[in-house]
Amino acid sequence: MTETAPIPGYATPQGTRDYAEARADDVAEGHFSDLLKTRIRLSSLGVGTFPGAADAATDAAVATTVAQALGGGINVIDTGAHYRYGRALAAVGAGIRQANLAGIPREAMFLVSKGGFLTFRGGPPSDREAWIREEIVEPGRGRAEDIAEQTPHCLSPEYIEYQLDLSRNLMGVETLDAFMVDQPEVHIPEIGKEQVNQKLEKVFEVLEWAVADGRLRYYGLSTFEGFRVETDHQLFQSLTSLQGLAEKACQAVNGPDDTRHHFLIAQMPFNQVMLEGFTRFNQATGQGNVASTLQAAHQLGVYMMSSHTLLKGHLAEQSVDVVTQALAELPNPAQRALQFNRSTPGLGTSLVGMSNPEHLADMLAVAARPPMERSGFLGLFQKAE
């Protein structure tokens, strides 16, 4: 059987603008916004691909979901090298190819993957130490000490690069639009923040090299707690410090005069219950003020995406009272949760994990509505006090 050639290209200003304009009758004004100064247009909602069983039926459902989302005005697709024991990548790739064959160009899609958590392809190994030796240490993808004891996570430049290339290959694309280092804070309790940052700088170097040779466009950090906790918390991660690491990595790759790094995207949980990204002022921006993570990201030129938009499905069943009242015209809690998130100032794209194409209906229905007015959104917090 002949191997299918990878799809060339990456998201471009023209490609995403044409995509948005072609769907002007299906989605409301305000559904697309610019990826900072790149002028790439990204949808306010994106499909995540974490949930679902590791089986062929789910593979097919994920592929259909991705293809239908791309056809319906959702051009941000998020996955990870370890999702569904490594099966998510190929399923997403099948959906990308379906959409591409249906006339949606690669230049209209913004494709994101992640690395760090171990890719146990085929399921968890019966002998973890032997697996680590055979899959990581012997192939030169990292050392045993690069792996967190309590969490199956490897923070080495070689393993992150391996997962970047695994993502590209299984998704069937030459270039990824973004690659996220996923939750490196899990190493902090074991080796300390200083050593984690030293490792991150080396990881950022391989990602800058990947940008230089055309395998990647941008990179960033995905966290669970790092951006939400107080500044003095052990797991806190500073956007300003991360940009500093990216500048050093860029200089190591491109020379001491080049600080134009490609750390452009960050992800964090955000929803009606997990509000810290908007309400907790924990980030020093270096511009004389302390800001929330969403405010700081805007000031520092980092595009923010949210995970856990539906709080693992809980917010598809019930909304916070003030949100129910403010968005009473929407027919169900899932649509209210999506509308709440995409209306949050400073939040670019809200990701929703799904493995059933039927769940797309709520996402597309919300995309057809304009986001809440800023004053209306801020009023939710005044009412809650």
| CB contact set of 206 (below 8 Å; sequence gap of 6+) | 157, 158, 160, 161, 164
DSSP state of 130: H
What is the number of alpha carbons within 13 Å of residue 195 lying toward its C-beta? 12
Is residue 295 within a helix (H) or strand (E), and if so which, with residue range? helix 293-300
At 319-350, the pLDDT tens digits run: 999 999 999 999 999 999 999 999 999 999 99
Neighbours of 381 (CB within 10 A): 12
pLDDT at 156: 98
If DSSP states are collapsed to H, E and C, what string results for 140-196? CCCCHHHECCCCCEECCHHHHHHHHHHHHHHHCECCEEEEEEECHHHHHHHHCHHHH
Strand, helix or coil for residue 18: helix
| CB contact set of 134 (below 8 Å; sequence gap of 6+) | none
pLDDT at 240: 96
The Cα 317–Cα 272 span in angstroms is 13
Q: Which residues of the chain have pLDDT under 50?
A: 1-2, 384-385
At 115-161, the pLDDT tens digits run: 999 999 989 999 999 999 999 999 999 999 999 988 899 999 999 99
pLDDT at 3: 67
pLDDT at 286: 79
pLDDT at 149: 84
Structure tokens at 287: 């511009």
Strand, helix or coil for residue 187: helix
Structure pTM? 0.96
Largest pairwise CA distance in the chain = 63
- The helix/strand count (H/E) of the chain reads as 14, 12
Q: Which of 374, 307, 309, 376 is nearest to 338 (CA)?
A: 309
The Cα 119–Cα 359 span in angstroms is 27
The Cα 244–Cα 265 span in angstroms is 14
pLDDT at 150: 86
The Cα 301–Cα 331 span in angstroms is 36
DSSP state of 32: E
The Cα 373–Cα 307 span in angstroms is 22
pLDDT at 289: 85
Is residue 224 within a helix (H) or strand (E), and if so which, with residue range? none
The Cα 371–Cα 377 span in angstroms is 9
Is residue 363 within a helix (H) or strand (E), and if so which, with residue range? helix 360-367
The Cα 173–Cα 151 span in angstroms is 30
87-101 and 56-71 are packed helices; what angle lies between their axes, rounded to 10 degrees? 40
DSSP state of 7: B
